[in-house]
Amino acid sequence: MATDTPYVPPKVWTWDQQSGGRFASINRPIAGPTHDKDLPVGAHPFQLYSLATPNGVKVTVMFEELLAAGHADAEYDAWLININEGDQFGSGFVGVNPNSKIPALLDRSGPEPVRVFESASILMHLAERFGAFLPSSGAARTEVLNWLFWQMGSAPYLGGGFGHFYAYAPEKWEYPINRFAMEVKRQLDVLDRRLAESRFVAGADYTIADMAIYPWYGRLVEGGAYNAGEFLSVQDYTHVVRWAAELAARPAVQRGKRVNNSWSEDGIRERHSAADLD
């Protein structure tokens, strides 16, 4: 309920389970599983547990790019984790990612399974495993990592900040919307200036930095994030728009966006073979 009375924080914060807007039912101040549930395991070396959110799309695009580049042993099973239903709090998922966030990967290609969580960690793990989309050393490698971690540090302001208050909060408040809109536009300007001098984000070559940034900022300038394209004047960032269009035309990117997508007409809820994307 709206009120003209300024909010005064209490001396000790307590959890209001009704707060949090659209995602209040899955947000909580404690970690750990809420129920016992084993994760399914398929036949391929890599088991991905995810959803086609921007962070999830990063990893499915990476897998599809690896396969397109001829790395046949990058075949993977992709299992849908419905975060709106609380699948991320099952005991099996928490065992792979104690932070209860998608995506999570179980690499079974070696003698012992290796859990990999956080999208940037998964991208680096796969890039190093296959020697692809990440230079092995030197300044070029550092530049890719600069932009990879720029995305990891910046996107929470876009999603949890701007996206939450603009699209999901139970009421519209001018201050947080203005605060985070300003920051998102600054981030777009950072990208636009970089892409004015470079074909891809980290230089002349397509890398995991592009795969990490596109699902967030490419989607934003395409008008698909929070219905905020007009509000943020995304068309003004012409170099980001150019870059996003080039990535969107890549067949592997198109396939990656379909995997674990439960809300699109041509989405693939679970992927277990290349034929699932035909």
Q: DSSP letters along 122-154, please? A: HHHHHHHHHT-SS-SSHHHHHHHHHHHHHHHHH
Contact 61/68 with Cβ under 8 angstroms? no
Instruction: Walk along the chain (278 residues) and give the pLDDT tens digit of each residue.
Output: 455 788 899 999 998 766 656 666 678 899 999 999 999 999 999 999 999 999 999 999 999 999 999 999 999 999 999 999 999 999 999 999 999 999 999 999 999 999 999 999 999 999 999 999 999 999 999 999 999 999 999 999 999 999 999 999 999 999 999 999 999 999 999 999 999 999 999 999 999 999 999 999 999 999 999 999 999 999 999 999 999 999 999 999 999 999 999 998 899 999 998 889 88
Which pLDDT score, from 0 to 100, does residue 1 have? 44
Which pLDDT score, from 0 to 100, does residue 23 have? 65
Pairing outcome for strands 104-107 and 114-117: antiparallel
Task: Tell me which H or E stretch contains 176.
Answer: helix 174-195
Which pLDDT score, from 0 to 100, does residue 28 have? 87
The single residue listed with the structure tokens 């035309």 is 249
Which pLDDT score, from 0 to 100, does residue 19 have? 60
Contact 49/79 with Cβ under 8 angstroms? yes
Q: What are the residue boundaries of the structural domains of the chain, listed by start?
A: 138-256
Q: 1.20.1050.10, 3.10.180.10, 1.10.230.10, 3.30.200.20: which CATH number matches 138-256?
A: 1.20.1050.10
* DSSP tag of 163: I
pTM of the model: 0.95
> pLDDT by residue (tens digit) across 198-254?
999 999 999 999 999 999 999 999 999 999 999 999 999 999 999 999 999 999 999
